[in-house]
């Protein structure tokens, strides 16, 4: 359990002005995200301010939910004066960081600080796997390594822990100096140095020196000695003189020397030199990054006094780090949230927040396995777990394992317990999960992934993976370009650009966008039936009666006199009719009123003062293309002139919007009242520079169904269009043109990635399958294949198809399973 600190002591620690009408009391939890489902009286809300958010706006809501304490940068409204304890400081982020640094000072055990360009989270999690049986470890949940994530992570450190492991990431100079006193590592680990997050650093050496600021007060530094800019930065800062350096190397002498790497069944055998002895360990992975991460762990473990024999025993037990939660379609209409890889109270709290965000009106069910190695008394631990479940609104618990079952009395009447995963599968009929939101949470050793496999809806093996955290990042990128007060209408048309409209809509609702945009009414109806309550704008025409739009609270576009008269007729007899949106054709020549012929429209609007007009909008035709900037500005001028004329006859000023993704980035004058990001939310910018600032949200992956050798002279595929010249190995993939691969990709035009290596399409693309050349790539049936995603950008895949990213995404058929992940 987190250390309780009296509110008065916290005020002293951060140097704030304390107003305490509710009396002093312990603070256990910190709250930053007002959307979090779990709020309790011993929580301190930290009201952060940013370019696009201000936590102070939610004080009334939080007090109503039970928050008693807040760290603020301005006094609360008079109505809250006697209902809320406050600590007033000039800067709440700075105060949060100082609070975490003060809290860190109460812990006197070893703390490992990890930084680097890549591998931070994997190294942290692998160290926890390797040491978890001997040490009670506090560690960063997930990838919490930012200016906000680090203090929240360190806040979880308490006197019951025997070790802390925290990661720190930076993206600009000066940030690490703020994180150093919070983590205050006794042992430093630098994993790698590469191009990630390098846009604000002139060169690798500068970036290395900035990251090394974390270790100025450390006692030991572990790092790969073969990275020349990193090694030079260590020396230039004098770190090699005042702390103990522990390097590993492939190329020369070091504390640990990697002598050989040999491929064996199930991974690699690493031969390692340490001191006077050589020893071999088996690593259950065979990629370059895993070798580097494992060597970092081995170097630290040997420094800590673990023997080569200890390392030889533990290393083969490493398992892959699940970097994200998966959202899956389950049987009988259920929604599965798969987190069946780790289990501790910190990650449980995060997973329960995801459950609350996605459950909407579904029943909330949690499958929860035993929690091992917590270091807490079992009754205290499971009492806390019961409180977390209760505050998250969990209605049913399915416990797995003897420890949680021994504390059944803490969980109430709707809890059932099972000795193991197979017992759960035998004891719970899939029908019991109908329409529920089910979180599956437990350590990998419990085998709860079998539960997920059995309960998920079985569909086509090819998967389109959508990273919801990437979509959130991209949304915040575009929000960061807007002036305060400009709203966001997030486009989820065409099945959310092929990515799945409902889950995207839930994310956008959670992120508090203002509206959603769909193409046709049936898309909006489906969102309403899935529980989406945000205003929904139906952009395109179709013969749907106004009564249907009204019933589902869908707001229609009015673009000609026929649609205007239909809306007026309906509103005349229905005072609660949804508002409409007037579209102006400013040069796209697709839909909309001609700005030069508005007199008839104005006359009709004057006759219908009861018609509510929510927005007036238009559509930019070429905002991404600098060659047409003059035309874009001409469109904007036409639009504003037409909107001014319409506004003169409307009751109240309607919202104006015209900017799409490229318009947001390139034309600040087009932001107006509301913007409509679309493809940009999926990581595609208007040019390469902006794309580099976004995160790709979609990854299309499949698996190898079969590998076969084809002798010279034989042919591959329909029509025998590919003739084998020299002996060739081909892999057959279960994806074809019915899944969204264009036939034009065949015959080497396009390619996929197998183990990170290019495998060109061979022969013609079939309806349900395709073949790729893997002659020089070691692979086997079941191995993963990337069609587009990391290492194979969507834009490149679309270019090979002879199209644009929009079409490449929306072409992916509905039989391809969508998996939504966080992380």
The predicted structure's pLDDT at residue 347: 79
Greater model confidence, 65 or 367: 367
pLDDT for the residue 36? 67
Where is pLDDT greater, at 493 or 203?
203
Position 37 scores a pLDDT of 59
- Residue 619: which of 574, 589, 651 has the closest Cα? 589
Q: Is the per-residue pLDDT at 495 higher than 60?
A: no
pLDDT in tens, 699-748: 999 999 999 999 999 999 898 888 999 999 999 999 999 999 999 999 99
Query: 663-686: per-residue pLDDT in tens?
Result: 999 999 999 999 999 999 999 999
Q: How far apart are CA 137 and CA 155, in angstroms?
A: 13
Q: Are strands 751-754 and 784-788 parallel, antiparallel or unpaired?
A: antiparallel
Q: Residues 85-96: what's their mean pLDDT?
A: 96
Mean pLDDT of 503-520: 89
Per-residue model confidence (pLDDT) at position 223: 97
Kindly give the residue spans of alpha helices, DSSP state H, lying in 435-500: 449-455, 468-479, 493-497
Q: Give 474's contacts (C-beta < 8 A, 6+ positions apart).
A: 677, 680, 681, 682, 683, 694, 695, 697
Strand order in the sheet with 277-283: 137-139, 163-167, 111-115, 187-190, 220-224, 244-249, 256-264, 267-274, 277-283
Spatial distance between the Cα atoms of 184 and 186, rounded to a whole number of angstroms: 7
If you count them, how many residues does the chain have?
Answer: 823
Q: What confidence tier does 494 reach under pLDDT thresholds 50, 70, 90?
A: low
Reported as half-sphere exposure (CB side, CA atoms, 13 A), residue 414 has a value of 13
For 573-578, what is the mean pLDDT? 93
pLDDT tier at 118, thresholds 50, 70, 90: confident
Question: Is residue 743 a contact partner of residue 718, using CB atoms and an 8 Å limit?
Answer: no
Longest dimension (CA), the chain: 95
Strand partners, 554: 536
Q: What confidence category does residue 41 fall into, taking pLDDT thresholds of 50, 70 and 90?
A: confident
Given this model, what pLDDT does residue 228 score? 93
Distance CA 823, CA 443 (A): 18
CA atoms within 13 A on the CB side of 232: 9
pTM score, whole prediction? 0.68
Q: How far is CA 342 from the centre of its chain?
A: 18
92 against 817, higher pLDDT: 92
> How many angstroms separate the CA atoms of 330 and 458, rounded?
8
Among the listed residues 207, 493, 583, 817, the single catalytic one is: 493
* DSSP H or E stretch at residue 641: helix 629-647
Residue 563: CB partners within 8 Å, gap ≥ 6?
541, 556, 557
Annotated active-site residue 559? The verdict is no
Residue pointed to by tokens 């009123």: 593
Amino acid 498: pLDDT: 56
Q: Which helix (H) or strand (E) holds 734?
A: none
Report the mean per-residue pLDDT for the chain: 90
The percent of residues in the chain predicted with pLDDT above 70, rounded, is 96
User: Around Cβ 227, how many Cβ atoms within 10 Å?
Assistant: 22
Q: Residue 355: pLDDT above 70? A: yes
Higher pLDDT, 354 or 108: 108
Both tokens assigned to 706:
């079969």
The Cα–Cα gap between 342 and 348 comes to 9
Q: Based on the residue annotation, tell me whether 441 is a catalytic residue of this protein.
A: no
- Which residue pairs, CB below 8 angstroms and at least 24 apart, start in 643-647? 643/584, 643/616, 645/598, 645/602, 646/582, 646/598, 646/601, 646/602, 646/605, 646/613, 646/616, 647/616
Per-residue model confidence as pLDDT tens digits over 191-210: 999 876 667 888 999 999 99
Q: What three-state secondary structure class fits 496? A: helix
Q: Contact 68/25 with Cβ under 8 angstroms?
A: yes
pLDDT for the residue numbered 760: 96
């Amino acid at each position: 359990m987190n250390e309780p600190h009296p509110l008065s002591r916290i005020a002293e620690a951060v140097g704030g002005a304390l107003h305490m009408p509710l009396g002093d009391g312990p603070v256990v939890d910190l709250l930053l995200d007002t959307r979090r489902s779990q709020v309790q009286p011993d929580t301190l809300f930290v009201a952060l301010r940013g370019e696009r958010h201000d936590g102070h706006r939610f004080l009334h809501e939080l007090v109503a939910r039970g928050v008693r304490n807040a760290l603020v940068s301005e006094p609360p409204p008079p109505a809250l004066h006697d209902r809320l304890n406050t600590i007033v400081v000039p800067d709440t982020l700075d105060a949060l960081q100082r609070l975490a640094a003060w809290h860190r000072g109460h812990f006197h055990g070893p703390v490992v600080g990890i930084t680097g360009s890549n591998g931070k989270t994997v190294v942290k999690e692998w160290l926890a796997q390797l040491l978890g049986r001997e040490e009670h470890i506090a560690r960063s949940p997930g990838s919490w390594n930012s200016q906000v994530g680090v203090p929240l992570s360190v806040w979880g450190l308490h006197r019951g822990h025997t070790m802390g492991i925290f990661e720190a990431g930076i993206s600009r100079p000066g940030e690490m100096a703020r994180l150093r006193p919070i983590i205050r590592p006794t042992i430093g680990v630098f994993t790698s140095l590469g191009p990630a997050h390098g846009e604000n650093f002139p060169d690798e050496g500068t970036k290395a020196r900035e990251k090394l600021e974390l270790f100025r007060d450390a006692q030991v530094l572990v790092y790969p000695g073969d990275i020349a800019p990193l090694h030079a930065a260590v020396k230039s800062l004098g770190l090699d003189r005042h702390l103990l350096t522990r390097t590993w190397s492939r190329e020369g002498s070091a504390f640990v020397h990697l002598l050989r790497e040999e491929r064996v069944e199930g991974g690699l055998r690493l031969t390692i030199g340490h001191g006077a002895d050589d020893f071999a360990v088996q690593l259950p992975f065979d990629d370059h990054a895993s070798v580097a991460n494992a060597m970092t762990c081995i170097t630290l473990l040997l420094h800590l006094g673990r023997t080569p024999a200890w390392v030889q025993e533990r290393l083969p037990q490493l398992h892959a780090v699940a970097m994200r939660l998966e959202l899956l379609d389950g049987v009988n209409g259920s929604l599965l949230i798969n987190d069946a890889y780790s289990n501790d109270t910190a990650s449980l709290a995060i997973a329960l927040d995801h459950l609350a965000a996605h459950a909407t009106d579904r029943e909330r069910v949690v499958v929860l396995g035993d929690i091992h190695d917590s270091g807490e008394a079992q009754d205290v631990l499971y009492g806390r777990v019961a409180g977390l479940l209760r505050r998250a609104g969990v209605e049913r618990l399915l416990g797995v394992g003897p420890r949680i079952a021994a504390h059944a009395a803490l969980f109430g009447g709707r809890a059932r317990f099972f000795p193991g995963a197979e017992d759960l599968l035998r004891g719970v009929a899939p029908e019991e999960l109908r329409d529920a939101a089910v979180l599956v949470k437990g350590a990998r050793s419990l085998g709860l992934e079998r539960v997920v496999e059995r309960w998920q809806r079985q569909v086509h093996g090819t998967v389109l993976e959508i990273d919801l955290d990437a979509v959130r990042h991209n949304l915040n990128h575009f929000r960061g370009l807007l002036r305060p007060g400009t709203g966001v209408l997030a486009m989820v048309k065409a099945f959310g650009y092929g990515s799945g409209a409902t889950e995207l809509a839930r994310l956008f609702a959670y992120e508090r966008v203002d509206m959603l945009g769909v193409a046709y009414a049936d898309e909006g109806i489906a969102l309403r039936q899935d529980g989406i309550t945000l205003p929904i704008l139906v952009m395109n025409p179709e013969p749907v009666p106004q009564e249907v739009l009204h019933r589902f609270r869908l707001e229609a576009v009015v673009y000609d006199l026929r649609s205007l008269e239909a809306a007026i007729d309906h509103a005349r007899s229905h005072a609660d009719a949804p508002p409409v949106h007037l579209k102006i054709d400013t040069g796209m020549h697709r839909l909309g009123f001609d700005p030069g012929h508005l007199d008839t429209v104005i006359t009709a609007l004057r006759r219908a003062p009861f018609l509510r007009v929510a927005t007036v909008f238009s559509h930019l035709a070429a905002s991404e293309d600098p060659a047409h900037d003059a035309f874009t500005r001409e469109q904007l001028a036409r639009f504003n002139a037409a909107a001014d004329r319409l506004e003169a006859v409307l009751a109240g000023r309607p919202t104006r919007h015209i900017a799409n993704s490229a318009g947001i980035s390139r034309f600040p004058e087009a932001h107006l009242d509301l913007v409509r990001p679309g493809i940009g939310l999926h990581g595609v910018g208007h040019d390469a520079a902006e794309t580099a600032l976004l995160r790709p949200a979609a990854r299309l992956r499949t698996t190898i169904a079969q590998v076969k050798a084809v002798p010279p002279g034989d042919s591959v595929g329909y029509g025998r269009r590919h003739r084998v010249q020299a002996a060739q190995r081909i892999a057959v993939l279960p994806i074809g043109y019915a899944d969204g691969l264009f036939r034009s990709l065949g015959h080497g035009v396009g390619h996929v990635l197998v183990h990170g290596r290019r495998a060109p399409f061979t022969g013609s693309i079939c309806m349900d399958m395709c073949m790729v050349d893997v002659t020089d790539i070691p692979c086997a049936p079941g191995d993963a294949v990337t069609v587009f995603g990391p290492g194979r950008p969507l834009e490149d895949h679309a270019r090979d198809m002879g199209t644009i990213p929009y079409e490449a995404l929306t072409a992916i058929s509905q039989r391809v399973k969508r998996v939504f992940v966080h992380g």
